[in-house]
Structure 1
Amino acid sequence: MSATPDILRVEDLRVGFAMQGGAAEVVKGVSFRVPAGKTVALVGESGSGKTVISQTVMGLLPRNGLVLGGRVLFTDPKTPDAPVDLATLVRDGPEIRALRGSRMGMIFQEPMSSLSPVHTIGNQIRENLILHRQTSRESMRDEVRHMLKLVGFKDPARAYGMYPFELSGGLRQRAMLAMALICRPALLIADEPTTALDVTIQAQVLNLMRDLQAELGMAILLITHDLGVVANMADEVVVVYHGEITEAGTASDLFRRPGHPYLKALLKALPSFDMKPGERLVALRDSGADLHALVPLRKAGPAGAQDAPLLSIRNLRKSFTIKSGGFLTSRRDSVVAVDDVSFDIRRGECLGLVGESGCGKTSLSKLMMRAMTPDRGSVTFNDGTREIDVLKLKGAALRDFRPRVQMIFQDPVSSLSPRMTVMNIIREPLEIHGVGTPKERTERVGALMAAVGLDRRFLNRYPHSFSGGQRQRISIARTLAMNPDLIICDEPVSALDVSVQAQVLNLLKDLKRELGLTYLFISHNLAVVDYIADRIAVLAHGRIVEIAPRHLLFSRPVHSYTQALMRAVPYPDLDRPLDLRLIAGGSASDPANWAPEFRDEGDPASVGPIDLGDGHVVLARPSVGRRELLAS
């Protein structure tokens, strides 16, 4: 028994959901503790029961959720002699409502759906004070501003009156932190708090949580599937699989001496920079993908077409006009999203594109897809027989070109129609473009399902009945339906568990090898890009600041921004901890934090591409020598 008192103690907890014919048990006799001032990580795949456990603690179970047995003891340091069994409290009763938000706070995975879009940030944070404290309006306003400053807002007074849509993902997560911590809770539950954030913003949020924990003396229950985050944050780790605890102990014990096969498999499913050439991720389950049915349907490429780039982009620029100010003082400002970008995508390669949110990655992909029109520049597609000026295509010519470039989106939930069966979703592009007879379309849909490892019997199901990984494979099947030459993968695995992520990445690699596909792979996860890409381009402020073959970029990054991204990657290794203080010192994409040789000082023409050899190009001042850059 630890000398440190426990803020939370879960004993033999069993939770189920009322269904026709009885209760389906999803949490099966779970027991663990959260000591005061410590961080305990709850690790497992989606569907393992992690979030259900946190909902039970906070009294947020859905109506059909039932506590079937066990205890959830919360001991408030203010009243250490009167622990409360949260499992016995009336849901939405006065006892749990007095604790929730006041003594127990929670951060959710997606802040945009957790924050009210019609209320200012300040008002939403102040609501907690109104519910749990009796102080003056001005005192509340001052306390909210202080908390906003504490969580990293540079101008708390301005942030107080802003709405969630005006904030970036990282700032929205900081606002959620402020809301959870405004009443100085004894326990903070963080449910996947950094899943959708860039590595640099993630590191800043983690550093902030650690600082606030030290200042407020609170305990943290961290729910995540990212073992890199766990290695850098957790004191103790609890591994959950199918509602049961498979392994628990200190972070040192579990990372240095993992005992259960499930934890060992999770560690092997993670991409890392130490992987050998040709080494594959080990997925927990075989995807069952059968690519043989698709190979005969793949068109052979033109002879002699391998030498020319499949897609060439030259001097591409896109700016947006935004309105700012009030009704009488409104003005129009121009924001450059893509700024003089040039690169080639070679036939049969995977080009990785990395950078923080807002750097222009998705805007660039939309310009390539002709979903947006650039201000200037060119996009040239080489089909092996001729060069096609993509930006000049219109009418039937544009319609005929569309199947050649397809896209896999980040969120399969919003990109798949909930009103269509899987059969109709995959068959739709074939029908739009008049490919084959109805019988041939049905046969091709079946072959596509087999290729991505899904049973053909699932064709009459709807997207909601599938897991996240299965939905993403349905998206891949739809993308492959038109035999594309180039596939743009826009964050296709960012929302997936590590085990499912391994399945999807292995599938994409196999498809590339067997079908000769070409990828533009967009991601903020550098380890994922390192696993799948042949070359990598780094984007900052709409410009490519560095591009190089994968092994060169990660072994010898030259640009300050690339080096900052590398420093922010959390390793699932206790011997390589993140230097959170260094990362939190400022935004990685802020040119003020770059070395002088990479700054343009307000004049974009003052920096240009410098060839370092072997396909390694960096954006820097021409006066700086190649040798000096390599030495830096």
Structure 2
Amino acid sequence: MEQPGAADVLRIENLRISFTLHGQPNEVVKGVSLRVPAGRTVALVGESGSGKTVISQAVMGLLPRNGFITEGQILFADPAKPGKLVDLASLDRDGRKMRRLRGGRIGMVFQEPMSSLSPVHTIGNQIEEALQLHRPHPRREARAVTERMLDLVGFRDPHRSYDQYSFELSGGLRQRAMLAMALICRPALLIADEPTTALDVTIQAQVLKLMKDLQQEIGMAILLITHDLGVVANMADEVVVAYRGQVMEAGTAEDIFRRPQHPYLKALLKASPDFDMKPGERLVALRDIAPVLPREFARRADEIPARVTELIRPAAPPVLLSVRNLRKTYGGKKGAGVVAVDDVSFDVLRGQCLGLVGESGSGKSTVGHMIMRSRSADSGSIIVNDAAGPIDVRALEGAALRAFRPRMQMIFQDPVSSLSPRMTVLDIIREPMIIQGAGTDAEQKRRAVELMECVGLDPRFLSRYPHSFSGGQRQRIGIARAIALNPELIICDEPVSALDVSVQAQVLNLLKDLQASLGLTYLFVSHNLAVVHYMAARIAVMARGRIVEIGPRDAIFERAAHPYTQALLKAVPLPDLDRRLDFATCVPSASMSDPANWPETFRGGAPGQLAMVDLGGGHLVLADPACTLRDLTAA
């Protein structure tokens, strides 16, 4: 057996993994080799389907029952036991040796913390269980150790948090709980499988800093599995790039980002949105989609300019959607309870994309749902300007509301749960047309074929069910459904947050092409600032239910005035080694979404004291109107 290097905690040699499908073996990992040195971070990068998670499952002995290792070694050298070498591939996945290592000397943080945590056990019980399995303690002492770990991973009140359930915690705190569970036994190796994919940029920066700090304190090695090249640039010492079960390129972070060699790696780097992209510059998708417009849309497409940039050149383009003083509360009668949306006002110009950004819980998705009338607003107005006059969306009822609905559609965040698993793709795309009585059965089927071609999918797949498609393909099906009724306004609610960077580029380019071809207007809700920078002409920033800053894209990114906007921009991880995150400044000690931590200029001393102050050029910030422009830009 080849000995790993003295500093290697993990070395994988020529690993091959197959899955049995219909009685036939299907190889998904094809001769992968990599190493993870002690005290260092190695990033395993690639698209969904590249075999990243399967490799981590093999290391942990967690392969599904139909998965098996056909060749290769997984060599683990525990620094606490010098000279002792274990081939994890040869161990019984349910045996005592594997169970002793799994969770004890090798910890793992899973991608989705909500589904990985038990909803019927407290956070403390679940973390303490891992401790008692591998390092038994007296009950009182075990609770103390668990609370110390909760404090270490950033829980403000560990004693109280011990007795909380997972559904009582935010996404960031749930991920911290998963980290505490993985680290409670102080492992030699931590496997982090997409640990920050669904987190806001500020929470993501907190989790990344936490992993770095704990790595230094414990001295553990980290195998970081991710498709986010910005995270890789800020965390990894070495990088392994995988594609379809094979390693395409491997090397130091310096080599990978400054001297990429393989075409696949170069394509991944070009597919990532960047703040330095010029107006009109496109992402380079690995497999781009050229939309083919349905015949019913051709007449409308002929009536509008070829590019949406031409549409927004006039000095005063028409306003399609006007939202004023929107308010929504939960947990009580109107005006009481928790305020989710508070006095939100904005305009969306026809043919334009307005980006709505903020942390989870800021109220941005609630605003989208209220505009769609899927949730009711407590107060405020939602006006759509029609050629025949303004339409009060909140006042629509019955037949009038039903007749209006085709004009506004929504693309949802999760392409899995937003598509019925019991309906074929044909039924999913036809459903809006059936509800609205648009066309005969033959016409609806013909349009479904055209819509599949429009979003770059083979019409022969119409008889399939959603589970047989990848995440990116499912999202394209959702887009086809959203444009089936030829809407004017589409609300995009985190449409690419669950997608790989290459698939994300496909979908974003498709949305841009459809906007240009059909004259669509978008309200683009996202917490990914790089994506919003690519898609939106204007950007509104939300915090605690209020819009704190709104303006043209360049003004927001180059001259952000509000401290919360500035904190968001500082926390964005870019795939650039020369612009790495400064964790000392991008992770403040106090939450920047809390108005109590803002300067007095932006906090206000009394209710109603703040107002939107014009900084010029359509750039507005929520602040004390008594302050001067110099005060606001210097704050």
CA contact (8 A) 1:289 1:454 kept: no
> What's the counterpart of residue 337 of structure 1?
340
Distance change (3 Å), C-alpha of 1:25 and 1:618:
same
> What's the counterpart of residue 511 of structure 1?
514
CA contact (8 A) 1:17 1:65 kept: yes
Q: Which of 75-84 and 216-225 deviates more?
A: 75-84
Q: Which of 38-47 and 434-443 deviates more?
A: 434-443
> What's the counterpart of residue 12 of structure 1?
14
> What's the counterpart of residue 318 of structure 1?
328
Residues 151-173 of structure 1, C-alpha deviations (whole Å, 9 max, x = no match): 00000010000000000000000
Residues 410-459 of structure 1, C-alpha deviations (whole Å, 9 max, x = no match): 00100000010000000011011100111111111111111000011000
- Amino acid across the alignment from 1:187: L
User: TM-score if structure 2 supplies the norm length?
Assistant: 0.95
Residues 338-390 of structure 1, C-alpha deviations (whole Å, 9 max, x = no match): 10111111111000000000000011111111112222111111122111111
- Report the secondary structure of 1:487's partner residue: strand
Say whether residues 1:547 and 2:546 are aligned partners: no
> What's the counterpart of residue 225 of structure 1?
227
Residues 65-110 of structure 1, C-alpha deviations (whole Å, 9 max, x = no match): 0101000001111212111100011121111001101111000111
> What's the counterpart of residue 593 of structure 2?
589
- Amino acid across the alignment from 2:32: V
- Amino acid across the alignment from 1:521: F
User: Matches of 2:34 and 2:5 in 1, distance apart?
Assistant: 16
> What's the counterpart of residue 265 of structure 1?
267
User: Matches of 1:367 and 1:452 in 2, distance apart?
Assistant: 27
User: Matches of 1:231 and 1:357 in 2, distance apart?
Assistant: 24
Correspondent of 1:63 among 60, 65, 77? 65
- Amino acid across the alignment from 2:362: C
CA contact (8 A) 1:288 1:454 kept: no
Instruction: Give the deviation of 1:132 after TM superposition.
Output: 1.3
User: Matches of 1:351 and 1:443 in 2, distance apart?
Assistant: 33
User: TM-score if structure 1 supplies the norm length?
Assistant: 0.96
User: Matches of 1:298 and 1:425 in 2, distance apart?
Assistant: 24
> What's the counterpart of residue 91 of structure 1?
93
Residues 175-202 of structure 1, C-alpha deviations (whole Å, 9 max, x = no match): 0000000111110000000000000000
CA contact (8 A) 1:302 1:384 kept: no
User: Matches of 2:628 and 2:392 in 1, distance apart?
Assistant: 36
Unmatched tracts of structure 2, length 5 or more: 306-310
Say whether residues 1:254 and 2:256 are aligned partners: yes
> What's the counterpart of residue 329 of structure 1?
none
CA contact (8 A) 2:301 2:517 kept: no
User: Matches of 1:174 and 1:114 in 2, distance apart?
Assistant: 12
Instruction: Give the deviation of 1:129 after TM superposition.
Output: 1.7
CA contact (8 A) 1:294 1:451 kept: no
CA contact (8 A) 1:42 1:222 kept: yes
- Amino acid across the alignment from 1:312: S
> What's the counterpart of residue 559 of structure 2?
556
> What's the counterpart of residue 308 of structure 2?
none
CA contact (8 A) 2:294 2:447 kept: no
Q: Which of 19-28 and 52-61 deviates more?
A: 19-28
> What's the counterpart of residue 533 of structure 1?
536
Q: How does 1:429-508 map to 2 (within 5 A)?
A: 429-508=432-511
CA contact (8 A) 2:301 2:519 kept: no
Instruction: List 4+ stretches of structure 1 deviating above 3 A.
Output: 1-4, 292-295, 297-308
Distance change (3 Å), C-alpha of 1:608 and 1:506:
same
Over aligned residues, Cα RMSD in angstroms?
1.9
User: Matches of 1:128 and 1:294 in 2, distance apart?
Assistant: 59
> What's the counterpart of residue 240 of structure 1?
242
Correspondent of 2:134 among 132, 135, 142? 132
- Amino acid across the alignment from 1:500: V
Say whether residues 1:622 and 2:632 are aligned partners: no
CA contact (8 A) 1:199 1:569 kept: yes
Instruction: Give the deviation of 1:289 after TM superposition.
Output: 2.8
Q: How does 1:197-216 map to 2 (within 5 A)?
A: 197-216=199-218
User: Matches of 1:302 and 1:504 in 2, distance apart?
Assistant: 23
Instruction: Give the deviation of 1:302 after TM superposition.
Output: 11
Correspondent of 2:427 among 424, 428, 433? 424
Q: Which of 401-410 and 282-291 deviates more?
A: 282-291
Instruction: Give the deviation of 1:288 after TM superposition.
Output: 4.3
Percent of aligned positions with the same letter in both sequences? Answer: 67
- Amino acid across the alignment from 1:359: S
User: Matches of 2:4 and 2:529 in 1, distance apart?
Assistant: 39
> What's the counterpart of residue 326 of structure 1?
none
User: Matches of 1:433 and 1:404 in 2, distance apart?
Assistant: 12
Correspondent of 2:117 among 115, 118, 139? 115
> What's the counterpart of residue 179 of structure 2?
177
CA contact (8 A) 1:231 1:251 kept: yes
> What's the counterpart of residue 600 of structure 1?
604
Residues 488-537 of structure 1, C-alpha deviations (whole Å, 9 max, x = no match): 00000001000000000000000000000000000001010000101000
> What's the counterpart of residue 164 of structure 2?
162
- Report the secondary structure of 2:331's partner residue: strand
- Report the secondary structure of 1:374's partner residue: coil
